[in-house]
């Protein structure tokens, strides 16, 4: 297995390296790829040193699988070039996600859809992954009709520039701004760019990707908010079902879902938090309660490490599924 990581020096790229090592993913040759300013630098993986190369140099190599985490512009241009050489691509950017010819995969939900002919497979948005992980078992049992979700997203979802902004503001040091306003001791109702309909791209990703993964008939409306937390996304989720439910059935369905953990004992101050989800692969669900204002409606609180299940872990899981199904 000759495996390339495109964007290896970024936050997600580094996390992919960690997850590959933790899960003992079989690699005969690791090929780290980054922008030209990083070329010639080295990374360490399982005690061995590897030299970072450029995308141009990558095209000259034989590669079985490339994991992309370098943004949509890079994926748009370079993923097809690698595919033309027979290389499979798993892409973390948003570029291919809603393309009708490319699958949007959360392995626990729709990994069985993967086929040998799938040359570019998309990894969903981090906030979408944790949402659909919680919705999927409930949709199967009670049929989701409508979702209202408010996200509380960490700055690592923006990248290292945002982390530096928060650190600088905490120290009262002037520096480069990732956001149009301070993030320290602040909350920004603004994730990604605003679109013509008044929603941000992040909010529309939650709508469109949830429909593609679970069911086109589900209505999703979102408000995405950036909070001064370094790692871990949280979501307040209000779900209306076609069928009624009881809370014991809900907790059982969530507990039986692979990759989901129910953490729900408010009387003991036990509920999901980013600080306890850090570096973990599970999606944590708590504050499970009936919405007493609306028929067949549930409230819940969903938390996950956005760099793990929201990005790196899901990417590696897709690669594992491709191997398991002899698609590589």
Q: How far apart are CA 24 and CA 233, in angstroms?
A: 27
Q: How far apart are CA 196 and CA 208, in angstroms?
A: 16
Q: How far apart are CA 19 and CA 21, in angstroms?
A: 5
Q: Has 233 been annotated as catalytic?
A: yes
Please count the helices (runs of H) and the strands (runs of E) in the chain: 10, 13
- Residue 85 phi, psi dihedral angles, 5° rounding: -95, 5
The strand order across the sheet containing 283-290 reads: 219-226, 144-153, 233-241, 297-304, 283-290, 260-262
Extract the tokens encoding 54.
């450029």
- Count how many Cα atoms sit within 13 Å of the Cα of residue 72 in the half-sphere of its side chain: 8
In sequence order, the 6+-apart residues with CB closer than 8 A to the CB of 37 are: none
Q: What are the strands, taking DSSP E only, across 154-259?
A: 219-226, 233-241
Is 252 exposed, middle or buried (CB count within 10 Å of its CB: 0-12, 13-18, 19+)?
A: middle
Catalytic one of 50, 102, 126, 139: 126
- Residue 290 phi, psi dihedral angles, 5° rounding: -75, 140
Element housing 304 (H / E): strand 297-304
Q: How far apart are CA 278 and CA 94, in angstroms?
A: 24
Catalytic one of 50, 102, 139, 233: 233
Q: Are 34 and 52 in contact (CB under 8 A)?
A: yes
User: What SS3 class is residue 35?
Assistant: coil
Longest dimension (CA), the chain: 61
* Residue positions annotated with a catalytic role: 126, 233
């Amino acid at each position: 297995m000759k495996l390339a990581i495109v964007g290896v020096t970024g936050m997600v790229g580094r996390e992919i390296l960690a997850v590959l090592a933790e899960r003992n993913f079989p690699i005969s040759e690791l090929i780290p790829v980054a922008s030209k300013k990083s070329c010639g630098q080295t990374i360490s993986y399982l005690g061995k040193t590897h030299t970072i190369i450029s995308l141009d140099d990558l095209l000259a190599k034989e590669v079985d699988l490339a994991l992309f985490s370098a943004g949509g512009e890079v994926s748009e241009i370079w993923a097809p070039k690698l595919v033309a050489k027979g290389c499979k691509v798993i892409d973390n950017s948003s570029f291919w996600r809603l393309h009708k010819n490319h699958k949007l995969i959360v392995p626990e939900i729709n990994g069985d859809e993967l086929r040998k002919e799938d040359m570019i497979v998309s990894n969903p948005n981090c906030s979408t992954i944790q949402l659909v992980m919680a919705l999927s078992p409930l949709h199967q049992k009670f049929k989701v009709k409508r979702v209202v979700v408010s996200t509380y997203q960490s700055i690592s979802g923006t990248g290292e520039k945002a982390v530096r902004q928060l650190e600088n503001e905490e120290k009262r040091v002037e520096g480069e701004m990732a956001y149009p306003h301070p993030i320290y001791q602040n909350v920004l109702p603004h994730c990604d760019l605003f679109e013509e309909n008044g929603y941000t791209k992040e909010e529309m990703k939650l709508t469109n990707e949830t429909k593609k993964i679970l069911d086109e008939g589900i209505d999703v409306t979102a408000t995405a908010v950036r909070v001064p937390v370094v790692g871990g996304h949280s979501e307040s989720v209000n779900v209306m079902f076609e069928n009624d439910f009881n809370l014991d059935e809900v907790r059982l369905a969530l507990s039986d879902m692979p990759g989901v953990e129910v953490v729900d004992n408010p009387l003991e101050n036990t509920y999901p938090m980013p600080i306890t989800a850090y570096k973990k692969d599970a999606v944590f669900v708590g504050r499970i309660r009936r919405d007493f204002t609306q028929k067949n409606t549930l409230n819940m609180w969903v938390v996950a490490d956005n760099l793990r299940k929201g990005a790196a872990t899901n990417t590696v899981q897709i690669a594992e599924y491709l191997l398991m199904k002899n698609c590589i």
